[in-house]
Amino acid sequence: MTDTATSSPLLVISAHAGDFVWRAAGAIALAAERGDRAKVVCLSYGERGESAKAWRAGKGLAEIKEIRRGEAEAAAAELGAEIEFLDAGDYPLIESPELVDRLVRVYREVEPAVVLTHPLADPYNGDHPAAARMALQARVLAQAIGYDAPGEPLGAPPVFFFEPHQPEQCDFKPNVLLDITPVFERKRRAMECLPAQQHMWDYYTDLAKRRGVQLKRNAGPNLGLPHDTMAEAYVRLYPQTTGVLA
């Protein structure tokens, strides 16, 4: 059983049902294997913009939502995470005070030690920065003692942006490389729970290999990292607080 006094809950806020798998499944699986709570919130199912295969097969909107929900639930189970769907719609994902308030309540309930979400720039998909803006606004509101929501005011959990599909176009310059080698096979199995976007499986496998090469180069020669090191890349939004530089 996890010691709640020392646990470090992870909260992942994802615009669509598949985003958390491609971009942060390694971090989620690592948290779960440590015994930490990992919760994913999907603002939408990605039913309109990220389910082309189902639309071409003649599926209707309600059926596509159910398909994507089932895929995401299976992926979360593979990673050891909880998952919640807010069904806010996609393409476009509309920002609203009501949706931000729902996220505030998630923050207060989970009390995350770490938050993962999308970067604030993505010229190819406005849903992604919309999700990030709401995630950040909700984090601030959840800290306010006077905000009317259940639970205690939030602390100040660090926020990490996970890697977008086209990082160069999103001004994504990673400053954190996470070694996911011990859990990469779980990430791959989670990706394979999402046949609606099968073209992403090999893309994100290859990306993990490239980021693994960069991790080894930045770690130095003495750590004994394996040749097949796999990694995920992140950008830390707020400053790290520390008493020791490392």
Is pLDDT above 70 for 4?
A: no
Rama region for 188: left / alpha / beta (φ>0; ψ in -120 to 50; rest): alpha
Kindly report, residue by residue over 77-105, the tens digit of the pLDDT: 999 999 999 999 999 999 999 999 999 99
pLDDT band at residue 6, thresholds of 50, 70 and 90? Answer: low
The per-residue pLDDT for 222 is: 59
Domains of the chain: 10-236 (3.40.50.10320)
H-run or E-run covering 231: strand 231-236
Kindly report, residue by residue over 175-225, the tens digit of the pLDDT: 999 999 999 999 999 999 999 889 899 999 999 999 999 999 998 765 677
Kindly report, residue by residue over 62-78, the tens digit of the pLDDT: 999 999 999 999 999 99
